[in-house]
Structures are given as structure tokens and as C-alpha cells.
């Protein structure tokens, strides 16, 4: 078998399947062979070139002209006619937002919409995140057992996301289902019979986004990022377009919510699996900010991202033709020995943990990264202070099969409520 550049496809490259359990459970381990022996390879099953080393991935992020982000939200598994007809019946029209917008349109839009992400603006959300984290922990602190994903880590980031965007708090369970459908639709491999159900959920999500936007247009005075976008549209209609606003309304809910929920679940799981690190942060909360970076490096919530080669180009010594689609496995870059010493080792004091590529890098680097960091830090502060004795319950972890958004579907923890520090201190 040969790749589009005429080179032979190795057996391991031919076997690469990012929807298999091996990739789902541990993406950087699944592509260890590639990092070591064949850092750029063509995957015939996916129709993508896969890139796994830190240096190559950072270089790709740095050059968003050669490596266009336009395919970042494209369906990785093209849907069949039935699902396409369902999407069309909802007038589904997800298009360019920021994350998949090319230059020269992208940067002026990013600049015009940036202010709500600056530290003074984000500071306004801190008290709410803290209050929500406390209220949710209050609900189960006396139970001795909780599924942190179902009982807190989905809903709190979703509430924060809606608040940040300025979207009224609607039916949370419905939005969770819509978000998962969007993930499967964009980065998953649903079977033909699942595709129709996913298409209905995605179509409804699109209509929901449109309705919320229409209401906001009637009164765009609120403090949310979407209202800010509507106000900016009046000054810069050619930069902040209608299509952008509708697409962003839907994509923004997912970008701000699911990524952070998964990151929180991954971080707590990882810390409880490394008891010493957990006890260190319980004893000294000033370690938490760096621990968050190390969690995002070691087990981030975005495992891989995508780019499109706009010209013939060489990556890691391999010739890639114009038009090639790239899966850049950022979670693998984060375990690259060439950049991180003893890369598989989980070290909350690691000096260069902040070099992780989970938020991307360069012109499109995640705009919400500091909001996500704030949420993760507050969750860890609250858990380490109020439930330092919690431990992981016996369980098998499952993941929604897809290339990019990654976190356990459930995270069961347990503890002895009689030993809760706040009972002792009463
Ligand atoms: C872009 C990850 C949280 C809003 C991105 C990108 C990644 C990412 C990988 C693409 C970067 C690139 O192409 O270089 C994450 C992770 C998060 C998170 C892992 C949580 C741990 C958030 C939050 C928000 C947000 C909370 C909003 C409140 C955005 C936006 C972009 C983006 C608007 C597009 C930026 C651009 O293209 O200019 N994020 N994200 N993200 N993210 Fe996040």
C-alpha cells in the first residue's frame, strides 16, 4: 500500500485507528511507536497524515498560512445521504467561527472579539465559579461517594460557559446531549444507524443556537461574549458576520464547556492515581497552578487537532502534498522526550509543564485558556481542601470514541464522610 506521496505505508501506519480502544484509553501511548520511529505517517483508514512529535507540531501551529485550520470542525467521518438530509431539514449551516477561519479574516475578528478574555474581564467570573464549585460539593459531601462527572464536572463548566457567553441557563441535560452529539458528528465515527440520531441532535442544537441569537439581537445589552459580538457587528459588520455569530453560538457552547469538563475529570483522575502528588497539593495549595499545567500536559482534554496543507511541504523529513489533511496529535507532542524530560512521569513541579500544546499554539491558540485554568484551579482548591481523603473507586473508564475531545464519561470517587475536615473543625 502506498501513501499519496508514493511512499510505502508501514504496517503500523496501516493499523492506526483513532477510534479503537487503544487510542481512547491512552493516545500518547498508542502512538509511542510513531514518536520513536515514524513521526509523520499516512493513515489509510483515516485518509489523514498523522504527526506526533512536539517540534513538528509546534512548527505546524506556528504557520497557519501553510497549515490552514479550515478543516478543524469538518466531520472527520463523512455522513451518508440520510443523515445529510436530516441536517438539511434543520437548515444546518455550521461554517467559520474563529478556530477554523483562515487569514486574512481570522486575525481582525479575533482582535475585535478579544476583550472579554482579558484578565480583568475574566476576573468578574471568579466569584461565580467559586460559589458554584462550593454549592455542588455541598450537595454530595456527606454521601461518601459521587460520580464527579455526572454530579459536578459537566454542569459547572456548562453553567460557567453559558454565563460567559451570555446564554440563559436552559435545560442542562439537553445541552449536554447536544454537545456530545456535536463531538461525535465532528470528531467521531458513528455507524450509519447512529448518524441519523446524531444528525437530529446536531440539527436541534443549530436551531437552538439560532433562537438564542435572535432573542439576543432584540436586546444585546447583556455582559456576555455573544452580546459583545452582536454589538461589535454594528461597528464592524464585514468582520463579525451573521454566519460567524450563528456558528459561534453553537461551537462556543462546546468549546467553552466540554473541553473544560473533560480537563477537570482528567486532572482529578490523574492526581488521585498519583497519591503523593494529590497529598502534596492538599498540603500546599500554591502547587495547584503548576499542577494544572502538568495535568493538561500529561492527560489533556484535547488529544489531537487538525490542519490542511495549502501547498507541497516537508514535515519531519516527509514530503506532504498540497491538499493533505493532517491530524496533529498534541497529546503525543506533550509526551515527547525531545521536549519533556522523562515525559511519561507525572511531575506537578515540572518546570516546563506550561509548554504543553493542549490549548494549541500561535495565532489560533485557545482564547479561553485562562478561563479554563481558573476553573480547574478553583475545582482543585475546593476538592483538596474539603475532600483531601477522597480516593478513586474501583471502576473501568470509558470514553466517547473520537479523535479529539477526551475525558472519562464517569469518575467515581469515595471517602469517609466522618473524616471530612469540616466536620472535625466544627
Ligand atoms: C481554540 C483547547 C477551553 C474558547 C482552541 C483550540 C484548542 C482549544 C486546541 C485550537 C487552538 C489552535 O488551533 O491553535 C481548549 C481546551 C480547553 C479550552 C483544552 C479547556 C481545558 C476554552 C474555553 C473557551 C474557549 C473555556 C471559551 C470561553 C476558544 C476559542 C478558540 C479556541 C474562541 C478559537 C481561537 C482562535 O481560533 O483564534 N481551544 N479550549 N476554549 N478556544 Fe479553547
Q: What is the pLDDT along the chain (426 residues), one digit of tens a residue?
A: 899 988 899 999 999 999 999 999 999 999 999 999 999 999 999 999 999 999 999 999 999 999 999 999 999 999 899 999 999 999 999 999 999 999 999 999 999 999 999 999 999 999 999 999 999 999 999 999 999 999 999 999 999 999 999 998 877 888 888 888 999 989 999 988 899 999 999 999 999 999 999 999 999 999 999 999 999 999 999 999 999 999 999 999 888 999 999 999 999 999 999 999 999 999 999 999 999 999 999 999 999 999 999 999 999 999 999 999 999 999 999 999 999 999 999 999 999 999 999 999 999 999 999 999 999 999 999 999 999 999 999 999 999 999 999 999 999 999 999 999 998 766
Cell readout for 138 is: 455541598
Q: What phi, psi does 341 have (nearest 5°)? A: -60, 135
- For residue 123, how far is its CA from the centre of ligand 1 (angstroms)? 18
Cis-peptide into 104, omega within 30 deg: yes
Residue 22: count of CB within 10 angstroms of its CB:
14
* Residue with the three cell numbers 436530516: 86
Alpha-carbon Rg for the chain, nearest whole angstrom, is: 21
Alpha-carbon distance of 341 to 352, in angstroms, equals 9
Q: 313-317 contacts: CB < 8 A, separation 24 or more?
A: 313/66, 313/67, 315/40, 315/49, 315/51, 315/56, 315/59, 315/60, 316/39, 316/40, 316/51, 316/53, 316/56, 317/40
Name which residue sits closest to atom 42 of ligand 1, judged by CA.
366
- For residue 224, how far is its CA from the centre of ligand 1 (angstroms)? 17
Contact call for residues 281 and 348 (beta carbons, < 8 A):
yes
362 to 44, 47, 377: CA distances (angstroms): 29, 26, 24
Read off the DSSP letter of residue 412. E
**Short-list 214, 154, 216, CA closest to 179:** 154
CB-ligand 1 contact for 96 (6 Å cutoff): no
Note the pLDDT of residue 425.
Answer: 62
Residue 235: count of CB within 10 angstroms of its CB:
9
Please identify, by atom number, the ligand 1 atom nearest to the C-alpha of residue 375: 26
**Short-list 111, 109, 102, CA closest to 66:** 102
**Short-list 28, 20, 23, CA closest to 298:** 28
CB-ligand 1 contact for 361 (6 Å cutoff): yes
380 to 19, 49, 142, 285, 414: CA distances (angstroms): 30, 37, 19, 9, 16
CB-ligand 1 contact for 305 (6 Å cutoff): yes
CB-ligand 1 contact for 372 (6 Å cutoff): yes
Tens of pLDDT, residues 255-288:
899 999 999 999 999 999 999 999 999 999 999 9
- For residue 108, how far is its CA from the centre of ligand 1 (angstroms)? 17
Model pTM score:
0.96
- For residue 339, how far is its CA from the centre of ligand 1 (angstroms)? 23
CB-ligand 1 contact for 260 (6 Å cutoff): yes
Amino acid at each position: 500500500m502506498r501513501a499519496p506521496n508514493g511512499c510505502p505505508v508501514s504496517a503500523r501506519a496501516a493499523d492506526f485507528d483513532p477510534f479503537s480502544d487503544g487510542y481512547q484509553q491512552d493516545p500518547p501511548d498508542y502512538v509511542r511507536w510513531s514518536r520513536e520511529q515514524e513521526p509523520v505517517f499516512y493513515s489509510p483508514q483515516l485518509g489523514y497524515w498523522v504527526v506526533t512529535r512536539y517540534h513538528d507540531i509546534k512548527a505546524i501551529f506556528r504557520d497557519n498560512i501553510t497549515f490552514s485550520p479550515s478543516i478543524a470542525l469538518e466531520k472527520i467521518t463523512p455522513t451518508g445521504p440520510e443523515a445529510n438530509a436530516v441536517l438539511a431539514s434543520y437548515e444546518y449551516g455550521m461554517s467559520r467561527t474563529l478556530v477554523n477561519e483562515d487569514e486574512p479574516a481570522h486575525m481582525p475578528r479575533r482582535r475585535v472579539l478579544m476583550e472579554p478574555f482579558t484578565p480583568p474581564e475574566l476576573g468578574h467570573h471568579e466569584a461565580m465559579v467559586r460559589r458554584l464549585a462550593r454549592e455542588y460539593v455541598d450537595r454530595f459531601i456527606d454521601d461518601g461517594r459521587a460520580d464527579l462527572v455526572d454530579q459536578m464536572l459537566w454542569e459547572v463548566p456548562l453553567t460557567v460557559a453559558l454565563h460567559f457567553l451570555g446564554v440563559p441557563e436552559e435545560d442542562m441535560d439537553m445541552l449536554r446531549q447536544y454537545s456530545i452529539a456535536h463531538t461525535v458528528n465532528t470528531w467521531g465515527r458513528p455507524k450509519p444507524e447512529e448518524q441519523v440520531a446524531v444528525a437530529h441532535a446536531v440539527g436541534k442544537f443549530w436551531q437552538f443556537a439560532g433562537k438564542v441569537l435572535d432573542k439576543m439581537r432584540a436586546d444585546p445589552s447583556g455582559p456576555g461574549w455573544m452580546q459583545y459580538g452582536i454589538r461589535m457587528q454594528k461597528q464592524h459588520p464585514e468582520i463579525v458576520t451573521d454566519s460567524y455569530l450563528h456558528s459561534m453560538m453553537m461551537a462556543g457552547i462546546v468549546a467553552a464547556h466540554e473541553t473544560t469538563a473533560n480537563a477537570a475529570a482528567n486532572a482529578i483522575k490523574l492526581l488521585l492515581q498519583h497519591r503523593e502528588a494529590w497529598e502534596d497539593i492538599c498540603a500546599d495549595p500554591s502547587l495547584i497552578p503548576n499542577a494544572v499545567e502538568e495535568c493538561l500536559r500529561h492527560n489533556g482534554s484535547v488529544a489531537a487537532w487538525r490542519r490542511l496543507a495549502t501547498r507541497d511541504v516537508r514535515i519531519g523529513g516527509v514530503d506532504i502534498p498540497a491538499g493533505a489533511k493532517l491530524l496533529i496529535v498534541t497529546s503525543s507532542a506533550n509526551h515527547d522526550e525531545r521536549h519533556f524530560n522523562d515525559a511519561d512521569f507525572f511531575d506537578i513541579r515540572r518546570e516546563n509543564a506550561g509548554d504543553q500544546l493542549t490549548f494549541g499554539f500561535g495565532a489560533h491558540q485557545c482564547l479561553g485558556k485562562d478561563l479554563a485554568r481558573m476553573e480547574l484551579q478553583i475545582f482543585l482548591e475546593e476538592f483538596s481542601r474539603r475532600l483531601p481523603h477522597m480516593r478513586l473507586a474501583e471502576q473501568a473508564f470509558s470514553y466517547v470514541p473520537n479523535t479529539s475531545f477526551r475525558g472519562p464519561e464517569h469518575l467515581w470517587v469515595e471517602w469517609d464522610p466522618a473524616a471530612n475536615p469540616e466536620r472535625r473543625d466544627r
